Amino acid sequence: MATALVLRPVVESTGSLLALSHEAATAADRYLDVMAVPMLPELEPTPTRRPTTEPGPAGLTFEKVEFGYPNAPAVLRGVDLHVAPGETLALVGATGSGKTTLTSLVPRLYEPTGGRITLDGRDIADMPRAELRGCIAVAFEDSALFSATIAENVAMGAETATDADVARALRVAQADGFVPLLSNGPDTMVGEQGLTLSGGQRHRLALARAVIGRPRLLVLDDPLSALDIHTEAAVEAALREVLGTTTALIVAHRPSTVLLADRVGLLTQGRITAVGTHQELLKTNAECAWLMSGLEPLTTPPAASRGEGGKTS
């Protein structure tokens, strides 16, 4: 009996170590899988892509852009859209219409299967990825925060960010109200995926990281999603200040997000079917009015956008 009592902690510890070893082995396999993936080479112009010697207009322009995932129907079908310099354009559409896919093409997370995208006249396919991503800031709906300090997470948006830059970005993102109240201010560790923060706080830090580098182009995927009314007001105020200084493309699922934009583009089954101001489309386009009514979770809109008004592009 005495021997059993002595050995019990050892046996229990051995079981815990075995469980940890299995977790460590799984984690190591995943790490090695990631590290084994070769770096993507810079894509060269291909014979199937039309020559890009002709410069495009200033701002962000989609010209006959097409895209489809492997072994799946096309997601984007000849998208034509222009965002003028200094303009904010909200992209709306039913679930599955291709909004997030379209924004993912801008930083070249995917490559179009047809057409081209230009930024200030240059085809982005002819730009090195590092150069392109150096002038674009992206904040997706689920922006990742890392197990690091708040300041370190924000500074990841600019290679040469100083403490003053971090402070400015926190102020612009309306995060300077809650950050000083944390245990160590901007030096507070936030945990993996920002688990110690609320949803609104994570959104504001992601926005701070996006704007710290003063990007030429800002791409946001529904920045006001899943926020309570008070937090939404703070983030909306932050966005208004940010959007006044850059060109922006925003995926919008809520009317409050649409109201931040100068114009609205309606994406229907992979095509831009209408472009105009928020008020114009509410009056002349039934599908847009339906989306803004809060019924968006349905994937197929009513027979609304078949020939309804709104300027097509």
| Percent with pLDDT over 70 in the chain | 82
Question: What pLDDT sits at residue 41?
Answer: 59
Q: How many CB atoms lie within 10 A of CB 13?
A: 10
Q: Residue 114 pLDDT more than 90? A: yes
DSSP letter for each residue of 67-135: EE-TTS-EEEEEEEEEE-TT-EEEEE--TTSSHHHHHHHTTTSS--SEEEEEETTEEGGGS-HHHHHHS
Q: Residue 167 pLDDT more than 90? A: yes
Question: Rounded CA gap, 125 and 52, in Å?
Answer: 9
Q: Residue 144 pLDDT more than 60? A: yes
Q: Residue 56 pLDDT more than 80? A: no
Higher pLDDT, 294 or 134: 134
Pairing between β-strand 122-123 and β-strand 136-139 as defined by DSSP bridges = unpaired
Question: What pLDDT sits at residue 76?
Answer: 95
Question: What pLDDT sits at residue 19?
Answer: 74
Question: What pLDDT sits at residue 194?
Answer: 77
Domain 60-295 indexed as CATH 3.40.1350.10: no
Question: What pLDDT sits at residue 310?
Answer: 41
Q: Residue 27 pLDDT more than 60? A: yes
Q: Residue 51 pLDDT more than 60? A: no
Q: Residue 312 pLDDT more than 50? A: no
Question: What pLDDT sits at residue 81?
Answer: 96
The two structure tokens encoding residue 288: 């847009």
Q: Residue 42 pLDDT more than 60? A: no
What is the residue-averaged pLDDT of the chain?
81
Q: How many CB atoms lie within 10 A of CB 241?
A: 13
Show me where the domains of the chain are located: 60-295
The tens digit of pLDDT for each residue in 186-245 reads 999 987 777 788 877 888 888 889 889 888 999 988 777 766 777 777 778 878 888 888
Question: What pLDDT sits at residue 270?
Answer: 92
pTM of the entire structure? Answer: 0.73
Q: Residue 49 pLDDT more than 80? A: no
Q: Residue 151 pLDDT more than 80? A: yes
Question: Any idea which residue has 């971090």 for tokens?
Answer: 166
The tens digit of pLDDT for each residue in 262-305 reads 999 999 999 999 999 999 998 999 888 888 876 444 444 554 44
